[in-house]
A and B are shown apart, each in its own frame.
Chain A
Amino acid sequence: DQQVKQNSPSLSVQEGRISILNCDYTNSMFDYFLWYKKYPAEGPTFLISISSIKDKNEDGRFTVFLNKSAKHLSLHIVPSQPGDSAVYFCAASSGGYQKVTFGTGTKLQVIP
């Protein structure tokens, strides 16, 4: 039972354009959401997070939007840069514990 779903395994975007990565979840108990970025042969790196009491969080070029009624969140990267090419994982947790459930990842390729 995949509680966190990233339905697009890959995404290609031109440099300078917006990248939008989507994530859906099924567990209504999730109250904290995170995005991680992963390069090959490295561990995931934390990117940005959002609490369920918010609907938007921004950090530089990265913005995460949360739509609780739709159980959907998205990560916007503007403008996209070639160095952003990586696998992006959406993750969620509940109840204050550290059992974080990850999605299967979306491979982003930013084309120069």
Chain B
Amino acid sequence: KAGVTQTPRYLIKTRGQQVTLSCSPISGHRSVSWYQQTPGQGLQFLFEYFSETQRNKGNFPGRFSGRQFSNSRSEMNVSTLELGDSALYLCASSSGTAGTEAFFGQGTRLTVV
């Protein structure tokens, strides 16, 4: 069973640009969550999609958005990039059922210069 795949693994962007990150969940999983990891802040929840609908949202500005496709693949978009957006972005997939754990991808390391 293939794991969670995130692309690209590494990305360098300039301030003001926008970026799109992709996540392919484990086959059969309908829930995809996105997290931002920065040093000292742990994993900060961005949003969760389930069956193409955003079900939960964290406390991030509107520059951070996402979507989920009918095949459960998800994309995250960050517009007007700021230096502080440099982080490891992690995607996690799960069945979406209460009490089940999520499986994480290896993440996309975004550097904004």
Contacts and interface: CB of A to CB of B under 8 A. Distances in A.
* Chain B residues touching A, range: 20 to 34
A98 B50 contact: yes
A88 B6 CA distance: 22
Contacts of A34: 101
Contact of B107 (A43, A49, A51, A99): A43
B56 A98 contact: yes
Interface in A60-112: 89, 91, 95-105
A96 B101 contact: no
B41 interface: yes
B94 A98 contact: yes
B31 interface: yes
Contacts of B102: 46, 98, 100
A104 B39 CA distance: 9
B2 to A, nearest CB: 14
A46 B103 contact: yes
A45 interface: yes
Interface residues of A, number: 25
Interface string A5-44: 0100000000000000000000000001010100001111
A83 B31 CA distance: 31
A43 B4 contact: yes
A36 B33 CA distance: 15
Given A102-B35, A103-B42, A105-B42, A96 B98 contact: yes
Question: Sorted from nearest, which 3 A-B pairs have the closest CB atoms?
Answer: A96-B98, A43-B104, A104-B42
24 contacts: A6-B42, A32-B98, A32-B99, A36-B104, A41-B106, A43-B90, A43-B92, A43-B105, A46-B103, A49-B99, A49-B101, A89-B42, A91-B43, A98-B48, A98-B55, A98-B96, A98-B102, A99-B33, A99-B45, A99-B56, A99-B58, A102-B43, A102-B44, A104-B40
